[in-house]
Structure 1
């Protein structure tokens, strides 16, 4: 009788340990998933409000990794949206309020415009110069559908989308509506600087 009771006790302890292990493993998996989800979401805190962006590392791994490097380095803190075109896009991340250009710490990246993502309203994409692989830190948010910016060919390579606004398009629309003018060699500069206070992972 005592032997059976002992066996039952050991069996009960075994199942308790097994259940605890399963619950612990599930909790860790949930934590890891939440952490990944958080790392893929950023908040752009501007002088006109907050914009939350969901990044897309699956389709644009190079662009997302590059963007997060600048985020983690606090490169964007104190920069502005220096180019605002109400029927096109808002661009920022590369100039200070006096329009001084902020140096990019990392080399230009490969253009991922062939990733299947389209420059639709609310998407965020890498700004670049004429050379297709010249994007560094600057980015823009499409305020209308701009599929003409998508990849067409080697000659019309396009602009790489790497995420989408999931909250704060009202802020984007407020920014696009501001009064703009010329400042030095730059056109479409907001007359009152629109500050990017910070960009942080959520």
Structure 2
């Protein structure tokens, strides 16, 4: 058996201990995997960050929620107890917020107790309020006759509740209930509610006898107004 020379043994030992080299292909493949992972994480971050709420939308959403919280506890209905019976009215809080707020405050103060229906115009309107503050009836009757000749597509429905647009104090808060689909009265009246129950009571008041100035011959008054969340 031939003897291996010491120098040859030393070279064989170095070959066994020397670390294996990483190929260029492995390095490129590893780098590509790292790049793909980083790119995926970055893309996912951008995607979810862009899905955050737009500032303008957030303001509108917050304002709406605040408005909803403010409306909690605000009465939605008013029950007008008259000497002829009860009239239930749905209040248009969203359409006429300031008028509804004023109406609610006056109800809570008992402002409408004892208020009289001092003007009744058949097939037109019944009006309650301070009898000393009413204007001449002619302006109403002439206005109605004038509008009856116009296009009736623009009009109030029957059984709508409104008040005068003129500036008024607690005594000057007039209540109007339309008794027929009449032409638009937006120049004079702000509508803030609609009769949902008691239409027959409104019609009974409408049928009372009046004098030439449309003032009822027998007193018809409001006994009280109560506020309700539900009917």
With normalisation by structure 2, the TM-score equals: 0.54
Q: Indicate how the Cα distance of structure 1 residues 63 and 161 shifts in structure 2: closer, same or farther if over 3 A, else same.
A: same
Structure 1: 5+ residue stretches without partners:
1-31, 102-116, 151-156
**Is contact 1:118–1:161 with CA below 8 Å preserved after alignment?**
no
Q: Indicate how the Cα distance of structure 1 residues 120 and 149 shifts in structure 2: closer, same or farther if over 3 A, else same.
A: same
Q: Indicate how the Cα distance of structure 1 residues 149 and 33 shifts in structure 2: closer, same or farther if over 3 A, else same.
A: closer
Alpha carbon RMSD of aligned pairs, Å? Answer: 2.4
From 80, 86, 89, the equivalent of 1:44 is 80
Report which of the two structures shows the higher radius of gyration computed on alpha carbons. 2
The number of aligned residues is 137
**Is contact 1:76–1:94 with CA below 8 Å preserved after alignment?**
no
Deviation at 1:195, TM superposition (A): 1.2
Tell me the equivalent position of 2:161. Answer: 124
**Is contact 1:79–1:93 with CA below 8 Å preserved after alignment?**
yes
Deviation at 1:134, TM superposition (A): 2.6
Deviation at 1:80, TM superposition (A): 0.8
Matched, 1:73 2:109: yes
Q: Indicate how the Cα distance of structure 1 residues 33 and 127 shifts in structure 2: closer, same or farther if over 3 A, else same.
A: closer
Deviation at 1:33, TM superposition (A): 8.2
1:71-114 Cα shifts (integer Å, max 9, x gaps): 1110110111110011210000324xxxx56xxxxxxxxxxxxx
* Mapping 1:143-182, distance limit 5 Å: 143-150=179-186, 157-181=187-211
Secondary structure (helix, strand or coil) at the match of 1:120 reads coil
Higher strand share: 1
Tell me the equivalent position of 1:192. Answer: 218
Deviation at 1:125, TM superposition (A): 0.8
How many Å separate the matches in 2 of 1:75 and 1:162? 17
Q: Indicate how the Cα distance of structure 1 residues 190 and 124 shifts in structure 2: closer, same or farther if over 3 A, else same.
A: same
How many Å separate the matches in 2 of 1:127 and 1:158? 6
How many Å separate the matches in 1 of 2:71 and 2:189? 30
How many Å separate the matches in 2 of 1:94 and 1:40? 25
Tell me the equivalent position of 1:63. Answer: 99
Higher helix share: 2
Deviation at 1:171, TM superposition (A): 0.2
Tell me the equivalent position of 1:15. Answer: none
Deviation at 1:127, TM superposition (A): 2.6
With normalisation by structure 1, the TM-score equals: 0.61
Tell me the equivalent position of 1:17. Answer: none
